[in-house]
Structure 1
């Protein structure tokens, strides 16, 4: 994974008007067999809530990835992060994660949380950025074929 973001990468706050781009990335990035992707109504429903933030990454003007998070008091949770396969392994995910961390710290969050499917390659990125495994949710994700997958809860505390 590259540690340098592509020079054409632009990260910006996003909203409901950007859901087409978010869903295009989500559908391409998340393998249906794991049951991790959110639906458009789920994304649209959370966006107006207090403390929720959506960041969209564009590379050469095209949607390359996004992150969705929420903050309450001094805690923030990374709800979703995805990178389009065309932009994979180019530092897009790392830049989105770093933006999440920086924005939430600036907003006063001292405890950062996320949840990820055990076995997802992103676990290594999270560990590299200082997150540690705090727990496991057995059989949390349900794939389209009924298979179940564990989730890891990870934390970063300042």
Structure 2
């Protein structure tokens, strides 16, 4: 199998269409986790927000959305399109998010994730530790509620 090139770049509001398409591909609508375009655009306008886009051989493969403020950051969204899962795209995005947080003197990175989301393996491998739980946080299209787990990664001082 040929090596495929993963490329990362900073994104902005002009990339909203790419983000929409990646969310539609990556997030199962049963769980109610995807954001609307207006939610994404609203967050992108806030200070400290970074959008990072991943492509594989020039094809959009994933993205991360983070917000850093006052020495802390939150991974708001991480999406990898199904054909690119377990190919290193998620790991490349996470490594870049952590490096970017360190460059911004962030000492702790937080995230929340549906309790049975496969991305938990990536987060744990990155060093995140579970710090809490939110019962019934997500509401799916069928009205069913899903728990969220909160995780943190201590980055220490830089």
Alignment TM class, shorter chain as reference: over 0.9
**TM superposition score normalised by structure 1:** 0.94
CA deviation string 1:80-101 (max 9, x = no partner): 0000112111010111011111
1:33-44 to structure 2, matched below 5 A, reads 33-44=30-41
Query: Does the residue aligned with 1:86 lie in a helix, a strand or coil?
Result: helix
C-alpha contact (below 8 Å) 1:73/1:108 kept by paired residues: no
Q: Tell me the residue number matched to 1:47.
A: 44
C-alpha contact (below 8 Å) 2:4/2:57 kept by paired residues: no
Q: Tell me the residue number matched to 1:138.
A: 135
Length, aligned pairs only: 153
Q: What value does the CA root-mean-square deviation take over the aligned residues?
A: 0.9
Query: Does the residue aligned with 2:151 lie in a helix, a strand or coil?
Result: strand
C-alpha contact (below 8 Å) 2:51/2:64 kept by paired residues: yes
**TM superposition score normalised by structure 2:** 0.94
C-alpha contact (below 8 Å) 2:65/2:76 kept by paired residues: yes
CA distance in 2, matches of 1:42, 1:72: 19
1:1-158 to structure 2, matched below 5 A, reads 7-157=4-154, 158=156
Q: CA deviation at 1:60?
A: 1.2
Query: Does the residue aligned with 2:87 lie in a helix, a strand or coil?
Result: coil
C-alpha contact (below 8 Å) 2:110/2:152 kept by paired residues: yes
Unpaired runs of at least 5, structure 1: 1-5
Q: CA deviation at 1:7?
A: 4.2
